[in-house]
Amino acid sequence: MPVQSIAERTLVPAVGQPAPDFELVNQFGEPVRLSALRGRNVVVLFYPFAFSGICTQELCEIRDNLAVFDDTDATVLAVSVDSKFTLRAYAEAEGYGFNLLADFWPHGAVAEKYGVFDAVTGMALRGTFIIDSDGLIQYVVVNPRGQARDLADYREALAGLAG
C-alpha cells in the first residue's frame, strides 16, 4: 500500500477549534504540556529540521523579535521531529531562549495530530498555529515546502488577540 501524504489522512485543525493537547520534552528534557499554558497565548511552530537553512532563518528571526510575542503574552513552542539532544545543540548554537520541542518518538505524532506531518519525508511541514488563552486556535497557516514564514503575519495575528 502506498504511503499517503498527511493531507490525505488528517485535516489541519481550523480556526475556532480547540487546539489538540500534547506533551513533548524540550531541549533540556523537561516536559511541556500545551494545556498547562492556558491563560496565555501560545504560538506553536512546526518546522522540518534543526540546523537547516530556512528553519534557522525563521527561528533566528523569532529569537531577535521575542518582544513581539512577549508584548502579547504569547509563549513560543517550536516543534520538530529532531531528538532533544539535537535540539539542545541547536538552541545553544543559535542562542534560542524559547522551547524547542522534540516530536521524536513516536516519530511526528504531534505534527500528525495537527495535520502537518509528511510521512513520505518523515518531517513536519511549516505549520503555524496561534492559540488563544482559552486554548482555541485563532490563526493557522501551513507554508509550502521551501517557503519561509513572515514575522509580520505573527504580529498581525497576535495584535488581534491583544485587542
Indicate the pLDDT class of residue 154, thresholds 50, 70 and 90.
confident
To the query of whether residue 55 is one of the catalytic residues in this protein, the response is yes
Give the model confidence (pLDDT) of 114-143 as tens digits: 999 999 999 999 999 999 999 999 999 999
Backbone angles phi, psi at 130, to 5 degrees: -105, 125
8 A C-beta contact, residue 114 and residue 129: yes
Label residue 132 exposed, middle or buried (CB < 10 Å: 0-12, 13-18, 19+): middle
Catalytic-labelled residue, pool 32, 37, 43, 55: 55
- Specify the higher pLDDT residue, 133 or 159: 133
